[in-house]
A and B are shown apart, each in its own frame.
Chain A
Amino acid sequence: MKLHADTLTRAYGAVQALDGLSLQVDARVLVLIGPSGGGKSTFLRLCGGLDLATSGSLEINGTALGEDPAELLAWRRRNGFLFQQFNLFPHLTARRNITLPLEKVHGRSPEEAEEVARRCLERFGLQAHGDKLPAQMSGGQQQRAGLARAIAPGPEILLLDEPTSALDPEMTAEVLELIQELAAAGQHIILSTHEMGFARAVADQVAVIAEGKILESGLPAAVFGQPRAAFTQRFLAKVMRFT
């Protein structure tokens, strides 16, 4: 996966969420780390075609993400996205959450969609929960079902925005394990996380985002082992203190 961002900015009113972010990487699994409010989510939303940049350019695998709604819709349909929480549609069962987009967005027949959903639920250890509504599942199960839904159509890139930040440590481990499996199976992933141990283990490339900019990026061993930026050193020292 080739990603090229050039002086990206995104302003929400007076708030400058991205402030001239530039990044050029070639990675299978790109992990974004950095303090909350630094711009990770905004950058991921832009990468996922869910939001528009105020200025600058972004190109992923040869596709320039512009402002054309139809092109952005096509881009969203090619990729999968998972938010921190509230991913599932609460009025549909876990299974229907998976089959509905397969049928309506990807044009699969109901039987095909059903079969794909069955396999995904099984793969993510949710075979017993397919007929449950989200409110009847634990946070970890919900997030795994969300992951199953994102994976079901076979996305080119899977974008994960702090997928475990709303979960307790046990559920976090469940979800991280699945993400690691997906990565090991060759899935292209861009994810943001506060789980530094996981970031280091799963990433090909790590980028540190703060104040709407990339502070540094590179191999995980380099960024975690010998951080160059003083900010990264302080940030890592702080978040790694208890791990």
Chain B
Amino acid sequence: MHASRSGSLLAELLAALLLTALTCAGVWMVLSELETARSGAALWKYRESLWRGWGTTLVVSVGALVGSCAVAGVLVAGQRSGLRSLRWFTQGLVELVRGMPLLSLLLIGFYVVLNNRFLAEALDRVNLGDKLFAGILLLSIFTGAYLTEILRGGLESIPQAQLDSARAVGFDRWQVMRYVVFPQALRRVLPALAGQFVSLVKDSSLLSVIGVNEFTYQARAFYAATYLGVEAFLPLAVGYLLLTLPIAGFSHWLERRFAAATAN
């Protein structure tokens, strides 16, 4: 099977050569735009704000990752509630959030909902009135809605036979979920979850519209001050990849680990 799938050595070599050439051309096109005389000094001057921006993106991403899981937990429970009104309400909420651009969710959430006098006062009182918290909260809700649908798909994909077996060994409702349904569902939706978390990191770049000085904001500020495009946006791309590639790698590692366990 291995031999039939791989082409001849010559074709393999030619393809590798061609793709390497293409990659080099791409890199050269980008790097040739560097104004080497100024770039080093300018980047050095703005290193702290860029570094702070990356740190803020990291904080927002980790915060929203945890937050979105909590939101998804609540929404999944709502979807599976015994009360029909609660189920409908939850589903409506999920569709509302998923159907809205993140940008409008951020603007409405920040300038209208969280700006409400009573809500703002209450948040201030517990020291959570800042933009960073608002950003993490809104991003958590946005991503949480997507995670909810991914998890629902996973939970519903577990065959009835597993539920029967779990009940037959004497598990109660909670134990059926805890020991049988959830571990299997989680393994099945792992790739989709990882994809959503990668999106989350990238979506955090929109938080600048509510004044969170995250990485993209700082890179644009750097560009506005120096007009050095490649110098501003190349580190930006690398900075995001530093956050997203480990997520993808971790997910692939988990998938491989669970490969046998998900075969059915």
Contacts and interface: CB of A to CB of B under 8 A. Distances in A.
Contacts of B175: 104-105
A109 to B, nearest CB: 17
A94 B59 CA distance: 42
5 contacts: A82-B168, A90-B261, A100-B179, A105-B175, A150-B168
A82 B165 CA distance: 8
Interface stretch (A11-19, A73-81, A190-198): A73-81
A87 interface: yes
A154 B212 CA distance: 62
A48 interface: yes
Given A76-B167, A83-B164, A91 B172 contact: no
A13 to B, nearest CB: 16
A88 interface: yes
Contacts of B169: 76, 81, 101, 105, 149-150
B167 A90 contact: no
A135 interface: yes
B152 interface: no
Contact of A89 (B162, B170, B172): B162
Contacts of B162: 86, 89-90
B171 A90 contact: no
A106 B168 CA distance: 13
Contact of B168 (A50, A85, A136): A50
Interface stretch (B31-39, B48-56, B180-188): B180-188
A81 B168 contact: yes
Range class of the B interface residue count: 20 to 34
Contact of B161 (A86, A149, A153): A86
B168 A90 contact: no
Contacts of A104: 171, 175, 179
A133 interface: yes
B263 A90 contact: yes
Interface of B is mostly: helix
Contact of B184 (A76, A90, A101, A106): A90
Interface in A95-123: 100-101, 104-106
B8 interface: no
B171 A88 contact: no
Contacts of B164: 50, 83
Interface string B77-116: 0000000000000000000000000000000000000000
Given A86-B264, A91-B262, A150-B169, 14 more contacts: A48-B168, A50-B164, A73-B172, A82-B168, A87-B168, A89-B162, A89-B166, A89-B180, A89-B184, A90-B264, A101-B171, A105-B169, A105-B170, A150-B168
B71 to A, nearest CB: 26
Contact of A76 (B161, B168, B180): B168
Contacts of B260: 133, 135-136
A152 B200 CA distance: 46
Contacts of A76: 167-170
